[in-house]
Amino acid sequence: MKRITLYTMVNCPHCKTAKQYLEQQKIIFRSVDVKSPAGQKEFAKTGFRGVPILKVGDQFLNGFSVKGFNSLYKN
């Protein structure tokens, strides 16, 4: 089972879509608010600038798409 981390911001509609999808699929994930001090530090290490970013195992998905997520999650 791959570990999932969702880097998100409160008012981000794409982040909300990603979160809802993961919850509907009953996929356990860790949510990181990139505006919190700890979240900012962790997010900075990813090298990305925008959210949502999904970390699936040791790979990253920039933005959210069901197809993109599933290709990382199921392989």
CA dihedral 20, 56, 28, 64 (to 10 degrees): 0
Look at residue 13 and tell me whether its pLDDT is greater than 80: yes
Rounded CA separation 26/74 (Å) = 14
Look at residue 1 and tell me whether its pLDDT is greater than 80: no
Domain range for 36? 4-73
Q: Indicate which CATH number applies to the domain containing 43.
A: 3.40.30.10
22-43 pLDDT, tens digit per residue, is 999 999 999 999 999 999 999 9
pLDDT > 70: percent of the chain: 100
Give how many domains the chain has, as a whole number. 1
